[in-house]
């Protein structure tokens, strides 16, 4: 399992991901740690446990969806779809939190209201990010051929159906990264 040192040695330790109950650790696939197998994290850190199947279901029900991540507002992975390499999940969560934060600040600056969804479009993919309740965010990466309307609708249904269960606890001051 990949962890980092604190302080000058690099970023802090990787945060636990507990999507599918208690378990046995991460699985290595093609040299990457994946989130397909659950593991126990620090007690009390994750309340989104058991929601991984919902992300997997979204991938199965919606054409061309590649990956999904449930993340905290500050970009920590709470849960990821099956088979997603840990590094990719952490990267997608961090980038998604940044995009969502920028969209929120822009909305405030121009009196546009709260962000309902953020979408990034590349030549070969889309990234959708939506608030998922309790300070969490849902990020979904799909292929360029996806039906954008269907995916946005499926994400909204997922958030509406289970949003109250997607709470990501706020970190305490001693858990926050050093400035």
Delineate the domains of the chain, giving CATH numbers in brackets: 51-165 (3.30.450.30)
Decide: pTM greater than 0.85: no
pLDDT digits (tens, 9 = 90+) for 35-92: 443 322 233 233 345 778 889 999 999 999 999 999 999 999 999 999 999 999 999 9
Helix axes 52-61 and 148-162, enclosed angle (nearest 10): 150
Pairing status of strand 32-34 against strand 77-80: unpaired
What does the mean pLDDT of the chain come to? 75
Place of tokens 């945060």: 15
pLDDT confidence bin for 171, thresholds 50/70/90 = low
For residue 140, report the phi and psi dihedrals to the nearest 5 degrees.
-130, 125
Phi, psi for 160 (deg, rounded to 5): -65, -40
Neighbours of 8 (CB within 10 A): 6
What's residue 160's pLDDT?
A: 83
108 vs 20, higher pLDDT: 108
d(CA 122, CA 115): 21
């Amino acid at each position: 399992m990949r962890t980092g040192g604190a302080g000058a040695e690099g970023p802090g330790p990787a945060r636990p991901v507990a999507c599918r109950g208690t378990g046995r650790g991460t699985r290595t696939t093609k040299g990457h740690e994946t989130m397909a197998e659950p593991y126990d994290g620090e007690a009390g850190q994750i309340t989104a446990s058991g929601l991984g199947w919902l992300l997997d279901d979204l991938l199965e029900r919606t054409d061309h969806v590649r990956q999904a991540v449930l993340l905290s507002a500050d970009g920590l992975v709470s849960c990821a779809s099956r088979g997603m390499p840990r590094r990719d999940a952490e990267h997608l969560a961090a980038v998604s939190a940044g995009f969502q934060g920028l969209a929120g600040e822009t909305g405030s600056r121009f009196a546009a209201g709260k962000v309902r969804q953020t979408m990034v479009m590349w030549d070969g993919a889309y990234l959708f990010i939506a608030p998922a309740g309790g300070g969490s965010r849902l990020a979904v990466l799909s292929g360029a051929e996806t039906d954008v309307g269907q995916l946005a609708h499926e994400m909204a249904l997922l958030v509406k159906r289970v949003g109250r269960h997607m709470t990501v606890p706020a970190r305490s001051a001693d858990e926050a990264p050093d400035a």
